Amino acid sequence: MSIVYISNIILPILVLIILIYGIKKKQNVYDLFIKGAKEGLDIGITIFPPLIAMLLSVNILLSSGFIDLILSMLNPLISLIKIPIEILPMALMRPISGNTSLILMSNIFQSYGVDSFLGRLASTIQGSTDTTLYILTLYFGSIGIKKIRYAMIVGLLADLVGIIASIIIVRLIFG
């Protein structure tokens, strides 16, 4: 049995198991499915406005040149502590937008190679940080929480620790 065949039958088998379980428990599986779909649609409608606001903010941030201004201001400090300036746009965008950070990581791969110091550092940062602002927007927006200050501070601090740890570890192992 090939892995492709197995992956093609997993979802239908899972659906069949759910149907059998629902019938065994004497539940109306179709009505429960419709109820769940309605709840999913309601959640989608609830999180749509905060998600659009965040995506618009990210696009404005990228188009404004603000990232370039921050990098030019940080360049003397970054050079002093020997952090590659090429990694900073990705590190700055990672907490904001996962797709943007993936594009920036792909650009690093194309320019320097996946097995280069920068490629390994980009991969490690990508794996040790999260899209904090996206997560806060999505999860907190979906349940109507407006006071996110402490969660945001802790999340961004965790991202900063992940970035610093990535730089140290990659430098120790591959530097």
Domain segments of the chain: what residues? 3-174
Q: For the purposes of burial, counting CB atoms within 10 Å of the CB of 74, is it exposed (0-12), middle (13-18) or buried (19 or more)?
A: middle
From the list 75, 72, 73, the residue with the least C-alpha distance to 83 is: 75
Could you read off the pLDDT of 94-146 as tens digits, one per residue? 998 888 888 889 999 999 999 999 999 999 999 999 999 888 888 887 787 88
| Exposure class string for 89-101: b at 16+ Cβ within 10 A, else e | bbbbbbbbbbebb
pLDDT digits 0-9 by tens, 25-71:
988 888 888 998 898 888 788 778 877 877 787 778 778 888 788 88
